[in-house]
Structure formats: structure tokens, C-alpha cells
Amino acid sequence: MSASMRSGRQTSEAGRRTTVLASRPLLAFRTVDLVSAAMLGVAFGVVFWAWNLVYAATSGPVGALVAPLTSILGGPWLLAGVVGGLLIRRPGAALMAEVVAASVSALIGNEWGWTTVVSGLLQGLGVELALALFAWKRFGPAVAMLAGALAATAEVVVYEWWTFLADFDWTFKLIYLLFFVISGALVAGLGGLAIVRALARLGAVNTMPPGQEELERSTR
């Protein structure tokens, strides 16, 4: 194992699990980090565009059951930031991936146009805040769920309450926020973590910390 990899390892007290951290200094992105964030953004941008179509077809029936329940469908739009942050483990990676994804979705075409980029910016910042609270040293299920939840919260509280939901009462707004937070935590948080771990097991991200973790586990 190289010195850089040794310096990026954090072992639990029981010695059972090793977390590979991004090499320091964190703000010094490697070329592979930038390329990976951009590629994730483009891939998820296409996913976002496809999900726009699913949302358009399902939000009406879902909203007919409980009007603010439509936000439960929002989790997939938060995936790019969560996956980018958990995979690259550097400040700004989540933000870059989410903004690129939002831009690609807007470029392909959706009903919200370029305001989608505003959403991407806020969602990415929500993920960044969650990872910053743990100094980019913890990336387990709880942190992933917090990242998805804060991404949803930033989107709704900073933006949607004052634009799309401006004419609704606060009961509606708070229920809408609750459902979006649940979707963010479960779909984007746990779902995003599952995607990262699957990529690591497949050997597709060996140059990234999760891929290095998987390599270390496989050699024990």
C-alpha cells in the first residue's frame, strides 16, 4: 500500500472496519476526481430527465391521494450529489455532480427549464453541509441519509416554499417538506450509498476511496 493510501485510512477502535479517506489536501482535486464528478453529473442528468417523465405521469394520481405527497417522488433528483459526495469524498464534489446533472437535465429539456440549475445548486449544497459536519471522514448509512435529507431541505426551504408553493398554507408546506426529506433520506441517501458500494464491488471505482476500501476488504 502506498504512503498516500496509508495516510488516508481511518480504522475503527475495534479494528473491524477501515475507512479510506480522500487524500489531503482535500481541496486539491485530482484530474480523475474532476472527470468522475463530471461524468456522474452527465449520467445522472439523463436519469433526471427520464425521471421528469415518470414524475409528470405519476404526480397527478399521487397528489390526488394527498396533495403534498407528490414530494415523495423527489428523491431520485438528489442522487447525483449524494453519489458524488460519497464516492469522491472531497468538498465540492457533491455540488459539482448535482449542478452538472441539473444542467444536463435542463439542456435536454424539462418543464422547469433552467431554474433546474438553482435546484441543483441548493441540493448539492445540502449534501456538502452533511459531509462537512463530519469533516469528510464518515460515509456510512446515517451520513448518507442526512445528506439526502439536507439536500431535500435546502431545496424546499430556500427555494420551493417561496416559488412553486408560495400560495399554499404552512400545513401543506411542512407536510410537503416532510415527504421530500423522507424521500431524500431513503431514495437518495440509502439508494446513493447502495450505488457507490455496488460500483466498488464491481471494481469500477478502484481509484476512489470506496474502491480502495473494497480492495482492502477483498485481500483480508
Q: How confident is the model at residue 17 (pLDDT cuts 50, 70, 90)?
A: low
State the pLDDT at residue 3.
39
194 pLDDT above the threshold of 60: yes
For range 158-178, the mean pLDDT: 97
For range 13-19, the mean pLDDT: 56
Report d(CA 87, CA 81) in Å as an integer: 10
| Least confidently predicted of 7-11, 94-98, 100-104, 183-187 | 7-11
Is 0.85 surpassed by the pTM of this model?
yes
pLDDT, tens digit, for every residue of 92-134? Answer: 999 999 999 999 999 999 889 999 999 999 999 999 999 999 9
State the pLDDT at residue 102.
97
Task: Please report the DSSP string for 17-40 in residue order.
Answer: -EEEPPPSSTTS--HHHHHHHHHH
Report d(CA 20, CA 214) in Å as an integer: 10
Q: Is 9 left (phi over 0), alpha (psi -120 to 50) or beta?
A: beta
| Least confidently predicted of 105-109, 175-179, 216-220 | 216-220
Which amino acid, residue 57? A
Which amino acid, residue 174? L
Q: Phi and psi for 180 in degrees, rounded to 5?
A: -70, -40
